[in-house]
A and B are shown apart, each in its own frame.
Chain A
Amino acid sequence: MTTTKENIVSVFNVEEVRKDFPILSKKVYGKPLVYLDNAATSQKPQSVIDTIDRYYTELNSNIHRGVHFLSQAATNEYENSRVKIKNFINAVSHKEIIFVRGATEGVNLVANSYGRKNIKEGDEIIISTMEHHSNIVPWQMLCEEKNAKLRVIPINDDGEIIIDEFKKLINEKTKFISVVHISNSLGTVNPVKEIIEIAHSHNIPILIDGAQAIHHVKVDVQELDCDFYVFSGHKIYGPTGIGVLYGKEKLLEEMPPFMGGGDMIASVTFEKTTYNELPYKFEAGTPNIEGTIGLGAAIDYFSSIGIDKISAYEKELLVYATEKLKTINGLTIIGNAKNKSGVLSFVLDGVHPHDIGTILDYEGVAVRTGHHCTQPVMKRYNIPATARASFAFYNTKEEIDILEKAIYKVIEVFK
């Protein structure tokens, strides 16, 4: 193991980055915290915490239209975050970056605005079997309202989208496609570039749900050529309650507002309201200012380490964990895609995942147990739930060893 460890250390110093996350030195039940629930939410580096603290101690005021010093300073920081995100995902313009509460709101915005305008009775929308409920329910609601049909791409036993089946689902009635980039319960990295190309070869717009991808793989929206991309700030080491909807400017221009209120208007009379320009048309009301600025700080932090190093290190962690867990008798890994990232879902013979979770917790190991808001995936594998360990670049091989030992404790209790 020493050689492998040295290899990692040569490109990435995990002990150094761990110091940036104060919560990682916490103990639970007297044991060091082993935080392996990163797919649910990531921990926050000190720089993000400090930025939010600084916002409230030095900058707090409402943004836009303020003539006073604080309002202008806060507006600058808020808009500066937008530019950081635009650069981070390589959007063409800052107008394409809409701040929302999270990936869920991003999907809902597109379903309500683009969807309600363009989806008609008898039309079809395609999603995949491995979608999070947040990329199922908004489309289902739209289909119900419009009397349209939701079509679902099947996945194979390894947890990969069956591309040929996807192609077969497309027809002249298909009006929208929405697919997850990385599955939160299986870890599958979908071939989104190929999926987007197929969609576009039929002139169908496509949304990519990047909630589990933005912090694991490089996302370049121009290279992908996706029409919409959504992600949540709290998965990429930023605060909760802030997320991003990227949309191509042309599409966003044509879309009606999602919510009405202040900030999204150019002028209001009781007879008629003229909407504000992009991106403000979609940002009604006082936004999550601290969250937006905090997300900007998170992007700065993340970029200072670099996605290439992060991806490579996380890949090594996943391979290490997979090799370890595979050898445990009675343990089955759910999701064995060739291209996986960040997530290791598993079940144990004769032990319900909830019981696994409770016993691991007492060893200081935080994992998630349940259906992970992907009930159709559980149904596909005919299991009620899984235990899921999910990794971040601050996790170590030693922590995976602790996870392994803790799983043996579970087996001991239930033998």
Chain B
Amino acid sequence: MSTELRELYQQVILDHNKSPRNFKKLEDANLFAEGFNPLCGDHFDIYVKLEDNIIKDVSFMGQGCAISKSSASIMTSIVKGKTLEEAETLFQKFHELVTGQIKAADVEEMGKLAVFEGVQDFPARVKCASLAWHTLHSALKEENAKVTTE
């Protein structure tokens, strides 16, 4: 397999694709958004329980490719316990990461999210990686709207 492909389909990503974390409906969620990529049919619902500006719990449901699903899974693990502002900053950083605009020094600070660095070599897959993040962003803004990445 080529280096680029191995970078894209890292073990962590494949693992989260196979057994996604927080893959359930959150019964006591107070924020919700639906994310949709009409081009490929990827579709995720994001549930958030926000209390005192802190993401107490977050989960997702839906279907998509390995990149979009693992991204949703890792995102939910990472933003749990973060404040609204911290989550928004991560969203911006994640966007920079997958579009290749991030500074090398910042990549290390991305922690588990750094596995998505390989996406920047696959422009067609950036939307897959960022779908869950756009949806979370919308849920946190209480837009409760349908989000599309097209």
Contact = CB atoms under 8 A, between A and B. Distances in A.
Interface of B: 1-2, 4-5, 8-9, 14, 17-18, 39-43, 63-67, 69, 122, 124-125, 128
6 contacts: A354-B40, A358-B5, A358-B8, A362-B1, A370-B40, A384-B42
Contacts of B122: 358
Contacts, number: 56
Interface in A80-97: none
A409 B63 CA distance: 23
Contacts of B14: 413-414
Given A354-B65, A354-B67, A384-B63, A413 B40 contact: no
Contacts of B2: 29, 362
Contact of A351 (B40, B66, B125, B128): B66
Interface string A18-29: 000000000001
B127 to A, nearest CB: 10
A101 B65 CA distance: 34
Contacts of A409: 1
A353 B128 CA distance: 12
B125 A371 contact: no
A355 B66 contact: yes
A362 B42 CA distance: 22
Nearest to A385: B41
B41 A378 contact: yes
Q: Which 10 interchain pairs have the tightest Cβ spacing?
A: A352-B65, A354-B65, A384-B41, A355-B66, A370-B40, A385-B41, A355-B65, A371-B41, A362-B5, A362-B2
Interface of A: 29, 350-355, 358-359, 362, 369-371, 375, 378, 384-385, 409, 413-414
B30 to A, nearest CB: 29
B51 to A, nearest CB: 34
B149 to A, nearest CB: 13
B37 to A, nearest CB: 10
Contacts of B9: 355, 359, 413
B43 A384 contact: yes
B67 A350 contact: no
A413 B41 contact: no
A414 B9 CA distance: 9
Contacts of B63: 352, 384
Given A359-B9, A413-B1, 7 more contacts: A358-B8, A362-B4, A384-B40, A384-B43, A384-B63, A384-B64, A385-B41
A333 to B, nearest CB: 19
* Residue with the greatest number of chain B CB neighbours at <10 A, chosen from A355, A385, A409: A355
Nearest to A350: B18
Contacts of B5: 358-359, 362, 413
A350 B66 CA distance: 9
Contacts of A354: 40, 42, 64-65, 67, 125, 128
A358 to B, nearest CB: 6
A409 B64 CA distance: 20
A355 B67 contact: yes
Contacts of A353: 40, 65
Contacts of A384: 40-43, 63-64
